Amino acid sequence: MGIATINPATGETVKTFTALTDAEIENALALADRAFRDYRRVSFDTRSQWMQNAANLLEENAETYAKIMTLEMGKPITAAIAEVKKSAAVCRFYAENAAQFLADVPAESDASNSFIAYEPLGAILAVMPWNFPFWQVFRFAAPALMAGNVGLLKHASNVPQCALAIGEIFQKAGFPEGVFQTLLVGSNKVAQIITDDRVKAGTLTGSEPAGASLASLAGQNIKKTVLELGGSDPFIVLETADINAAVEAAVTARMLNNGQSCIAAKRFILISSIADEFESRMAEKFAALKIGDPMLPDTEVGPLATPDILTELHQQVQICVEAGAKVLTGGQLLEQPGNFYPPTILTQIPEGTPAYSEEFFGPVALIFRVNSLDEAITLANSTIFGLGASGWTTNQAEQERLIRELEAGAVFINGLVKSDPRLPFGGIKRSGYGRELSSQGIHEFVNIKTVWIK
Ligand code: NDP
């Protein structure tokens, strides 16, 4: 696939871009290497000022950047503006906390003085997806740059204008040339970059095959990776839950980003006693959502990012329906241009269908009924994924069991799973490994150096 801006609301190719040549990639790697030698010595105070400048630029130009995102991948404009502001927040979080997170830690030993120092590694490659084209990049770049690393961004091929805008933000913020570079390259160039000696580690957010490919190449070259891959997060509603709040959160959690979020609730696991009420209220709300032009402020559901995602999602739905699943709302392709898919709810889904094993990356909610907490936990855990999980109950014993027994990188009780710079983010099982955000995130790409002085 070429590197291009294709409006997902209309199918129109707005602009195409030429990928970097091998010589240009070589120049970029050499520049990153040179830049690191000086940048690693820049004080936390100075890095912090530049990172605050980046946050200011994001906030001052939130609408402009949001429009680029909406144009390229179709998220509703209000969500895009919120994403730019959240990206500013993660810059500020690390600008304010990096020095403390990475301060030397005294450690007692047989030395007269021993301690742990955290030092940058060098150039880190970030392979990033289109679904949160600003947030995912800043979530990587803010801690990486504050730690003294330099960043190389290979963004998804359908969001080149976002990728270029982000590069420009770091440049305008004052970071020296080469500290953050956007490389307009296709995924066929990732192997060449990650295996280059000047690149020290890699991080990827995206699909399993892409993650496995990057990690195996990095592994062959003894380089660390962080992977943030797919999810099929459970949203468990038990008898004592506040049903109004749970339905409200369920709709928000599933529809976030037109349903294309790794931590979206995808499987709704309902205890039988509340299932009828929950289902009918959720169906009512899904049917009332406003689908349309994502540039309009009152649009709630925009198009999917690419025609391939639309085709794959509809196929998954059709397989479930042909096997006997019941459609509560949606489920039919819309007769209009663009990659729009209606908010859809499937229930009474037979075992063995994709609903039990695959990620549905779009506005489709999968409902399952269970008769006990044990059954709910077993079903929730019966997937290859383990990113987030949301449990709804006011019963403390049930809460405790959900917290301890759900196989996930995060458990949220009576709330929807979301990312927050102050809390670590990441998965287990085939959802990936490593953590982003919080103090854990900034420690992923540093040399944890032991210092021993006699
Ligand atoms: P991909 O994983 O293909 O794309 C994510 C990033 O990885 C892009 O920058 C892409 O580049 C790059 N990439 C793709 N293949 C390789 C490879 N072999 N080696 C190195 N880099 C690679 O995701 P898709 O856009 O194709 O989406 C497919 C599915 O992935 C979704 O349906 C969803 O299940 C999952 N996904 C999960 C996300 C998450 O947030 N966890 C985000 C996006 C997707 P290029 O664009 O040039 O191909």
Set out the domains of the chain in order of their start, with CATH numbers. Answer: 4-229+431-453 (3.40.605.10), 234-413 (3.40.309.10)
pLDDT beyond 80 at 428: yes
Cβ(359) to ligand 1 under 6 A?
Answer: yes
> Tell me: the pLDDT tens digits for 244-271?
999 999 999 999 999 999 999 999 999 9
What 433-441 contacts at long range (C-beta under 8 Å, 24+ apart), as own/partner pairs, is 433/226, 433/227, 434/203, 434/225, 434/226, 434/227, 434/228, 435/226, 435/409, 436/139, 436/140, 436/143, 436/203, 436/226, 436/228, 437/90, 437/139, 437/143, 439/97, 439/101, 441/139, 441/143
How many A from CA of 129 to the centre of ligand 1? 6
- Mean pLDDT for all residues in the chain: 98
Tell me what the mean pLDDT of segment 413-436 comes to: 98
pLDDT beyond 90 at 185: yes
How many A from CA of 207 to the centre of ligand 1? 5
SS3 state of residue 70: helix
Q: At 12, phi and psi to the nearest 5?
A: -75, 135
* Strand stretches in 242-320, DSSP E: 265-271
- Active-site residue set: 228, 262
Return the residue whose CA atom lies nearest to atom 30 of ligand 1.
207
> Tell me: the pLDDT tens digits for 53-70?
999 999 999 999 999 999
Cβ(205) to ligand 1 under 6 A?
Answer: yes
How many A from CA of 191 to the centre of ligand 1? 15
Tell me what the mean pLDDT of segment 383-388 comes to: 98
pLDDT beyond 90 at 50: yes
As a whole number of angstroms, the distance between CA 242 and CA 333 comes to 34
pLDDT beyond 70 at 356: yes
- Read off the tokens for 281: 């209220």
**Nearest-atom index, ligand 1, CA of 228:** 41
Decide: 233 and 266 in contact? Cβ < 8 Å.
yes
As a whole number of angstroms, the distance between CA 37 and CA 60 comes to 32
Is the pTM for the entire model greater than 0.90?
A: yes
* pLDDT in the model for residue 1: 63
> Tell me: the pLDDT tens digits for 117-153?
999 999 999 999 999 999 999 999 999 999 999 999 9
430 — pLDDT class (breaks 50, 70, 90): very high
Residue of 207, 358, 360 with the most ligand 1 atoms within 8 Å of its CB, for mutation: 207
Tell me what the mean pLDDT of segment 389-414 comes to: 98
Tell me what the mean pLDDT of segment 400-405 comes to: 98
